[in-house]
Copies of this chain bind each other. A is one copy, B any other.
Amino acid sequence: MSPNSKKRAYQDGCAVAHALDIIGDRWAMPIMRELMLGPKRFTDLRAGLPGISANMLSQRLEELEAASIVVRGRLPPPAASQIYELTDWGRESEIVFQVLGRWACRSPTMEPGKPMSPVSVILSMRTMIDRDRIGDLDAAIGLRFGEEEFRVTLKGGDCLIDRGQAAGADAILSGDQNALVAVLYGGARYEDVHGALTIEGDRALAERFARLFPLPPKAPSMVSAG
């Protein structure tokens, strides 16, 4: 395992310092992010975390397990492969990701256009949804990103977004999640990303849906006159 696991730790009673001791290492939070919407296998995790090495992932999963953030499970037979899953407390960290994401998306140095994993996109929608804009919308939107399917349920002024069947929704968007990001946050129209994203069903609903996720204004840059 970890023969001489001398973890470098802040010797600090501050709860934030403890948080950094357990989830502050490189890749720890992105791994948690990928698990936020449900269990994944080792290889699925790697797919959502471009650039991570098998070593890193293996080691971080051990550490997250030791911290009671992740538990190992096994899929029911016959596909009895190992899966990793957040604990209840691990799942409760979603609010941390939301608040951190809301703060960071105002960063003057954040440059758009970099690829996002399907889970990132879904979590960003959960974060940025403006419930005031839902109004009396009562509809379901299905999202298909490769093998992964999600469902957005708008009802009673609230919005639920989770894994679920896209089929049967009033509108279904299929294709590359990055194309959807361009539409939701990048000011693009569906026509602009045509070919990367296809729309089935209620087109007007898809248009209204695309405007439910406003971005907050950027913070001013303080670097060499701003």
Q: Hey, which bits of chain A sit against chain B, CB under 8 A?
A: 8, 10-20, 22, 24, 26, 29-30, 33, 50-51, 65-68, 71, 87-89, 92-93, 95-97, 99-110, 112-117, 120, 123-124, 127, 178, 181, 219-223, 226
Q: Which residues of B contact A15 (CB under 8 A)?
A: 100-102, 104-105, 110, 124, 127
* Bound: A29/B99 CA distance, A: 15
- Contact present for B22 and A107 (CB under 8 Å): yes
User: Are B13 and A33 touching (Cβ within 8 A)?
Assistant: no
Contacts A13-B178, A96-B99, A223-B66; A18 near B115 (Cβ below 8 A): no
A8 to B26, CA, bound (A): 10
Report whether B13 and A65 are in contact in the complex, using a CB–CB cutoff of 8 Å: no
CB contacts (< 8 Å) of A11 on chain B: these are 50-51, 114-115
Quickly give the copy total for this chain: 2
Q: What 16 additional pairs, Cβ within 8 angstroms, besides A13-B120, A19-B101, A89-B108? A: A10-B30, A10-B51, A12-B50, A13-B115, A15-B101, A15-B110, A18-B105, A18-B109, A19-B100, A66-B223, A67-B109, A68-B108, A68-B221, A68-B226, A87-B222, A99-B100
What are 30 A-B contacts with C-beta separation under 8 Å?
A8-B26, A10-B51, A12-B30, A12-B50, A12-B115, A12-B116, A13-B116, A14-B30, A14-B116, A14-B124, A15-B100, A15-B110, A15-B127, A17-B30, A18-B105, A18-B107, A19-B104, A20-B30, A65-B223, A67-B109, A68-B219, A68-B222, A68-B226, A71-B222, A87-B222, A88-B219, A89-B107, A89-B219, A92-B103, A95-B103
